[in-house]
Structure 1
Amino acid sequence: MIRVLVVDDHRMVRSGVRAELSGAQDLEVVGEAADVAGAVAAVERLRPDVVLLDVHLPAGPDENPAPGAGSGGAQVLARSAALLSADPPVRFLALSVSDAADDVIAVIRRGARGYVTKAISGDDLAAAVRRVAEGDAVFSPRLAGFVLDAFGAGAGEVAAADDELDRLSAREREVMRLIARGYAYKEVAKELFISVKTVETHVSAVLRKLQLSNRNELTRWAAARRLL
């Protein structure tokens, strides 16, 4: 069972997330928090597997954040830093209405494992929680590029249709680019008008041909070649 803490200052959002995840038999919402102070306390007390974290979270009623402390979500991450590398670790997935690059980068720099917008479906949110719990990085489509740019992925490197890329078929290249950009399998299937099973087959072939282990390595490989 994956234990989830939902952190958002809007009660309706917390209730909605809880309802969306309730249908997943392997996910359990173990608590909620509505501000920075409450979130930090809940993370320390509950030690959840995954924290769904609102980026623009208010401070607690008795708190006055120091200038430059960053968004509420970034503050929670900063104050929970020790738990990010604990055994087992507490992993954070940002869930926000904002898709601004600054917001995305701020929480990723603090240690969040992913960032999805509140436009995400319930099924995709559950899938994102599972992936983060396993240690993967998860981003809504089109947000991965912000992270790659900010961390200099591929900086100064040359884009090339090299021998490795030549191993892939045209369709495998299309699937590879979308997966590397953070698309879920269902999103890739919809984009390319193919089945999810076919997407899975192509991804397996891509990873095998490029001698990569997972989609995180694939993202780094594609970014280094400026293929995103």
Structure 2
Amino acid sequence: MTRVVIVDDHAMFRAGVRAELAGAVEVVAEAEDVPTAVAAVREHQPDVVLLDVHLPGGGGVEVMRQVGATGTRFLALSVSDAAEDVIGTIRGGARGYVTKTITGPELVAAITRVADGDAVFSPRLAGFVLDAFAGSIEIAAVDEDLDRLTEREREVMRLIARGYAYKEVARELFISIKTVETHMSSVLRKLQLSSRHELTRWASDRRLL
């Protein structure tokens, strides 16, 4: 059986994935953040790591960076389908990227294929990767701009650019409206933009919505 480590900061989600994989693969460990993920991979040396993109302690890319070159392959399993997350994770070393809308049998198949050395993507996400290599997404520019933003600022930026009101962003991220306003001001300043309209256009041009 393919040996798997599940990395996600939500215990209920990990339990659900483990149940879906039962009997098809061997789940040897679970982890909830970057340090526990790195420790689990080093200890168990699994065939595949199911890796959430956004984790406490630095994110999925940081897990791959700290683990370094091993025989373990990484398959991103994330709620995010944003271009910068997909491309950044693949650049960080993942062999595939699927979203959490995937079914249990599809996930088993994706794990098996990644373990065999294939690259696996949800259909829509494959287009991002192809576009990136074709040069129609300016990855260097995206990375440089996004590197100025903190993780929370990126979350606020994406929701605001999608048309969410401040109170909706606050509810979605479990923060106060005042905090949303503070993050938004910081985002506009760092990106040298002056309005929500400009932010939406900026994010749309970079396929971040």
User: What's the TM-score, normalizing by structure 1?
Assistant: 0.58
- Residue of structure 2 aligned with 1:47, choices 45, 48, 51: 45
Superposition pairs for residues 133-144 of structure 1, below 5 Å?
133-144=115-126
Structure 1 residue 151: deviation in Å? 2.1
Superposition pairs for residues 94-173 of structure 1, below 5 Å?
94-152=76-134
Superposition pairs for residues 1-228 of structure 1, below 5 Å?
1-24=1-24, 27-59=25-57, 72-83=59-70, 89-152=71-134
**Separation of aligned partners in 2, 1:72 and 1:35:** 8
Show structure 1 runs of 5+ residues with no match: 60-70, 84-88, 156-228
**Separation of aligned partners in 2, 1:72 and 1:151:** 23
SS, match of residue 109 in structure 1: helix
Structure 1 residue 152: deviation in Å? 2.7
Q: Looking at secondary structure, tell me which structure has more helix per residue.
A: 2
Structure 1 residues 123 and 108 mapped into 2: Cα distance closer, same or farther (>3 Å)?
same
Contact 1:77 1:107 in 2 (8 A): no
- The one-letter code matched in structure 1 to 2:22 is S
**Separation of aligned partners in 1, 2:34 and 2:134:** 30
- The one-letter code matched in structure 1 to 2:60 is G
SS, match of residue 148 in structure 1: helix
Structure 1 residue 153: deviation in Å? 7.1
**Separation of aligned partners in 2, 1:34 and 1:131:** 24
- The one-letter code matched in structure 1 to 2:44 is L
**Separation of aligned partners in 2, 1:78 and 1:21:** 26
User: What's the TM-score, normalizing by structure 2?
Assistant: 0.63
Contact 1:3 1:50 in 2 (8 A): yes
Contact 1:7 1:52 in 2 (8 A): yes
Identity %: 68
**Separation of aligned partners in 1, 2:135 and 2:115:** 24
**Separation of aligned partners in 2, 1:143 and 1:81:** 25
CA RMSD of aligned residues (A): 1.5
Show structure 2 runs of 5+ residues with no match: 138-209
- The one-letter code matched in structure 1 to 2:29 is G
SS, match of residue 142 in structure 1: helix
